[in-house]
């Protein structure tokens, strides 16, 4: 079997999105923070790709990076985002500086206005906290109608940013300041908004559309946010902790909804969460992230039944089991490492907490394939060898 | 265990909040609106055990914990701690009670004073109760910090220099400073990452064993509750719907709400993939205007006319397991009444 490395994978026609070596750094006054480093993964048609990790592991930053929503002082510093869009590929095939391969285009090389135009019709995102994602002073219906109208204008004139925010003269500015969002609420966009609210299971959508976000419960508002995200009929929905703020019975409803709309629309979903249970219920394939890197990836069974990376093993050992409670939990010792570039070192980032750290961990491990499954890889020296206690090192030695 | 007297006995506890209750509202002739956060709760906790109080947000579990410690004044009911009536205590008795009963809060970011050092935070209770002088307090602070897994050289650091898990350890050390017998743990691990959560859960178990502590463990995470509790009480809209030994509750839940909660939890195993849970439709109703009869009847898959009309009393379904549901009573008129529209007939 040949060694598959990240950049040699070919782009096949079932790959909707291929992220390669994407790195995002934040340049703060205290120093450079490596929030995500050389992250690579593929999203195929019709699948739910799970990204799991603890806080600060870089999972949200990765999602924001791929749809180009990183704000200063952060910046995407390297990598490729290959997206399958035949029309776009045709348009840019001969253009200098734009990488095109078959039907795929590297979005990091196209002009920013093109990337922006893809938000909505190609990528859409839902966030953790629906309460803070809506404007509290505009009705839910108007906010969704606005998204519908922006997408309609974008479709009519895909390349122009101006067309979507058209008529932004002083008069419109004044009107919009006094009555926010009004310019986008038309008869047809309002109707479509109500239709979308109905599709996400909100009872009496016509009446609820005229209510304000504070009149919605958390679960209903999360449904409304999903409706808004569907306004542009995206190919890929990025769901960042979509149920973390919700109670379990409501969480179950939202997960069902996500699954239904995914099946109905044939979309792909990138599901980002810290909850391994949610990941297990929803995902076809999984990326486990730690300290800005993908440390292990594979199909659902690979990760849950045959985890190789000690971090994945530790994560699974840390959760209390609902059905067969273990007498004692096996936590991962220590704390999440600092992501400041100056403090990160050159070895494996997990080595100082790893119960199986060896001498070879002082060097950065490559992503290696794991025996037994085509898709299973781990960024760990243990991917293709077993632990040798005679080479063990302690956490202190890692730091030296 | 049921032969002894419980350490804490709560009987018919109620805590109502009133809206529209200002002088202006009264002048305008508005009636106060009550929010029944806790509406008639009974439970007992025996020495050395952990009672898990579980429920979704807004069910009144935190209010129950705070009212039990008299951090909030109860509207009605009786709370007996080691035989003494907590609600009748005067100020001196309350000071003594607070030495024996302590609390750890959920959010380790807002529950520690950012301008105090770890050492001062941990020993503030000793200062307030006038137990030790400055030198002794510092010694005690070192002892406490080391006991919860922090190091002595962190004594002069401020909360922002600690991670979430370390801050929660400081909160636990503060609760232990007065050597209490009883600790209310209000969602102590829900703000923490899973790997750190496991460390704190292990610490809480060790401390319980070492100091013979009794815990009221309030949480929404059922796996955590199963792990740490001896007995469990499940709350919904201000009422306890089911209590029992932890294994009975998790293996043989009798109340439809407990069943739905357990069914809904996503499990971290490969077999979970694609599992569809249609446990409870709809939203939790507002506690301002809770449904009549059994509060769950608007969402319960087994609801019948009888559930809308009257509120079920707890029925013993197994030794020491009580469920407040008509279905637990074979001879009840429930079985002869008609199913509600949204419910399935069985």
Of A13-27, A150-164, A312-326, the poorest mean pLDDT is in A150-164
pLDDT digits (tens, 9 = 90+) for A267-294: 999 999 999 999 999 999 999 999 999 9
Inter-chain touch A318–B165, beta carbons under 8 Å:
no
- Listed in sequence order, the residues at least 6 apart from B111 whose beta carbon sits closer than 8 Å to its beta carbon are B105, B171
- CA nearest to A319 within chain B: B194
- CA nearest to A54 within chain B: B193
Residue B94: pLDDT over 70: yes
pLDDT digits (tens, 9 = 90+) for B119-133: 999 999 999 998 888
Query: With an 8 Å Cβ cutoff, is A221 touching chain B?
Result: no
Query: With an 8 Å Cβ cutoff, is B286 touching chain A?
Result: no
pLDDT digits (tens, 9 = 90+) for A92-101: 888 888 999 9
In this prediction the pTM is 0.89
Size of interface A-B (CB pairs under 8 A): 133
- Between B53 and B281, whose confidence is greater? B53
Residue A388: pLDDT over 50: yes
pLDDT digits (tens, 9 = 90+) for A57-85: 999 999 999 888 898 899 999 999 999 99
Q: Using CB atoms, pick whichever of A253, A316, A336 lies closest to residue B268.
A: A316
* The pLDDT of residue B341: 82
B chain contacts of residue A279, beta-carbon cutoff 8 Å: 268
* The pLDDT of residue A7: 46
Query: With an 8 Å Cβ cutoff, is B245 touching chain A?
Result: no
Band of the pLDDT at B302, cuts 50, 70, 90? very high
Of A152-166, A298-312, B332-346, the poorest mean pLDDT is in A152-166
Query: With an 8 Å Cβ cutoff, is A286 touching chain B?
Result: no
Query: With an 8 Å Cβ cutoff, is A233 touching chain B?
Result: no
CA distance B165 to B148: 11
Inter-chain touch A251–B222, beta carbons under 8 Å:
no
* The pLDDT of residue B69: 95
CA distance A241 to A201: 20
Residue A237: pLDDT over 80: yes
CA distances from residue B233 to B64, B85, B220, B283, B299 in whole angstroms, order as listed:
12, 22, 12, 21, 20
* The pLDDT of residue A6: 45
Residue B34: pLDDT over 90: no
B chain contacts of residue A301, beta-carbon cutoff 8 Å: 270
Residue of B57, B60, B195, B263 to mutate, interface with A, max A Cβ within 10 Å: B195
Coil vs helix vs strand at B108: coil
Residue of A46, A335, A337, A339 to mutate, interface with B, max B Cβ within 10 Å: A335
Inter-chain touch B266–A281, beta carbons under 8 Å:
yes
A chain contacts of residue B274, beta-carbon cutoff 8 Å: 259, 281
Residue B27: pLDDT over 90: no
- Between B346 and B184, whose confidence is greater? B184
Coil vs helix vs strand at B15: strand
A chain contacts of residue B279, beta-carbon cutoff 8 Å: 249, 252
Q: Using CB atoms, pick whichever of B163, B195, B274 lies closest to residue A314.
A: B195
Taking residues A307-327, report their average pLDDT: 91
Annotate A67-100 with DSSP letters as a single string: TT---TTEEEEEEEEEEE-HHHHHHHTT-TT--E
Provide the 10 A C-beta neighbour count for residue A42. Answer: 20
* The pLDDT of residue B298: 93
In contact, B71 and B253? CB cutoff 8 Å = no
Taking residues B8-26, report their average pLDDT: 90
Taking residues B202-230, report their average pLDDT: 95
Query: With an 8 Å Cβ cutoff, is B110 touching chain A?
Result: no
In contact, B303 and B282? CB cutoff 8 Å = no
Query: With an 8 Å Cβ cutoff, is A317 touching chain B?
Result: yes
* The pLDDT of residue B2: 47
Mean pLDDT, chain B, whole residue set: 92
pLDDT digits (tens, 9 = 90+) for B142-155: 999 999 999 999 99
- Listed in sequence order, the residues at least 6 apart from B151 whose beta carbon sits closer than 8 Å to its beta carbon are B145
CA distance A67 to A85: 15
In contact, A14 and A266? CB cutoff 8 Å = no
* The pLDDT of residue B30: 84
Mean pLDDT, chain A, whole residue set: 87
Taking residues A227-251, report their average pLDDT: 92
* The pLDDT of residue A9: 58
Coil vs helix vs strand at B77: strand
Inter-chain touch B195–A280, beta carbons under 8 Å:
no
Q: Using CB atoms, pick whichever of B194, B228, B276 lies closest to residue A318.
A: B194
B chain contacts of residue A253, beta-carbon cutoff 8 Å: 281
Band of the pLDDT at A165, cuts 50, 70, 90? low
């Amino acid at each position: 079997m040949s060694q598959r490395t990240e950049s040699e994978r070919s782009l096949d026609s079932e790959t909707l999105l291929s992220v390669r070596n994407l790195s995002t750094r934040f340049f703060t006054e205290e120093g450079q923070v490596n929030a995500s480093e050389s992250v690579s993964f593929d999203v195929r048609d019709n699948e739910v790709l799970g990204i799991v990790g603890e806080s600060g592991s870089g999972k949200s930053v990765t999602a924001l990076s791929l749809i180009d929503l990183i704000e200063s002082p952060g910046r995407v510093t390297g990598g490729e985002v290959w997206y399958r869009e035949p029309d776009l590929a045709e348009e840019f095939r001969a253009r200098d500086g734009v990488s095109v391969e078959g039907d795929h285009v590297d979005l990091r090389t196209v002009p920013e206005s093109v990337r922006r135009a893809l938000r909505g019709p190609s990528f859409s995102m839902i966030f953790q906290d629906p309460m803070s994602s809506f404007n509290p002073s505009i009705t839910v219906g108007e906010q969704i109608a606005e998204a519908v109208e922006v997408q309609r204008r974008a479709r009519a004139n895909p390349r122009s940013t101006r067309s979507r925010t058209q008529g932004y003269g002083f008069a419109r500015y004044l009107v919009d300041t006094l009555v926010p969002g009004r310019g986008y609420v038309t008869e047809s966009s309002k109707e479509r908004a109500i239709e979308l609210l109905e599709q996400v299971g909100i009872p009496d959508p016509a009446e609820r559309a005229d209510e304000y976000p504070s009149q919605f419960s958390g679960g209903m508002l999360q449904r409304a946010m999903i409706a808004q995200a569907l306004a542009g009929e995206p190919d890929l929905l990025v769901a960042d902790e979509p149920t973390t703020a919700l109670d379990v019975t409501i969480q179950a409803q939202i997960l069902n909804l996500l699954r239904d709309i995914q099946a109905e629309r044939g979309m792909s979903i990138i599901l980002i969460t810290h909850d391994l249970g949610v990941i297990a219920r929803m995902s076809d394939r999984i990326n486990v992230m730690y300290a800005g890197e993908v440390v292990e990836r594979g199909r659902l069974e690979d990760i849950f039944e045959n985890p190789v990376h000690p971090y994945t093993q530790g994560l699974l050992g840390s959760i209390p089991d609902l059905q067969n409670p273990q007498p004692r939990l096996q936590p991962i010792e220590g704390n999440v490492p600092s992501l400041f570039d100056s403090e990160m070192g050159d070895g494996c980032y997990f080595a100082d907490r790893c119960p199986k750290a060896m001498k070879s961990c002082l060097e950065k491990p490559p992503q290696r394939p794991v025996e037994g499954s085509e898709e299973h890889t781990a960024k760990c020296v243990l991917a293709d060898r077993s632990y040798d206690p005679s080479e063990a090192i302690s956490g202190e030695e890692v730091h030296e | 265990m049921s032969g002894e007297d419980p350490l804490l006995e709560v009987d018919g506890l109620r805590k109502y909040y009133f809206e529209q209750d200002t002088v202006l509202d009264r002048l305008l002739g508005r009636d106060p609106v009550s929010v029944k956060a806790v509406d008639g709760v009974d439970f007992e906790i025996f020495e050395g055990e952990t009672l898990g109080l579980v429920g979704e947000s807004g069910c009144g579990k935190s209010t129950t914990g705070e009212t039990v410690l008299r951090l909030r004044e109860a509207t009605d009911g009786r709370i007996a701690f080691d035989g003494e009536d907590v609600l009748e205590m005067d100020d001196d008795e309350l000071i003594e009670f607070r030495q024996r009963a302590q609390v750890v809060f959920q959010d380790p970011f807002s529950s520690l004073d950012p301008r105090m050092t770890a050492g001062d935070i941990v020993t503030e209770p000793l200062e307030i109760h006038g137990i030790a002088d400055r030198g002794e307090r510092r010694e005690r602070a070192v002892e406490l910090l080391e006991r919860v897994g922090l190091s002595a050289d962190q004594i002069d650091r401020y909360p922002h220099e600690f991670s979430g898990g370390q801050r929660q350890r400081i909160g636990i050390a503060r609760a232990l400073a007065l050597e209490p017998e009883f600790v209310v743990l209000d969602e102590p691990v829900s703000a923490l990452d899973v790997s750190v959560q496991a460390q704190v859960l292990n610490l809480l178990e060790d401390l319980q064993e070492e100091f013979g502590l009794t815990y009221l463990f309030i949480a929404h995470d059922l796996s955590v509750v199963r792990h740490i509790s001896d007995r469990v009480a499940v709350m919904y809209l201000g009422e306890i719907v089911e209590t029992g030994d932890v294994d009975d509750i998790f293996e043989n839940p009798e109340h439809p709400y407990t069943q739905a909660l357990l069914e809904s939890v996503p499990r971290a195993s490969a077999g979970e993939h694609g599992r569809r849970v249609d446990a409870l439709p709809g939203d939790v109703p507002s506690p301002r205007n809770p449904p009549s009869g059994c509060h769950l009847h608007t969402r319960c898959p087994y609801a019948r006319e009888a559930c809308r009309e009257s509120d079920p009393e707890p029925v013993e379904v197994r030794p020491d397991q009580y469920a407040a549901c008509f279905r637990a009573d074979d001879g009840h008129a429930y079985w002869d009444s008609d199913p509600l529209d949204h419910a399935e007939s069985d």
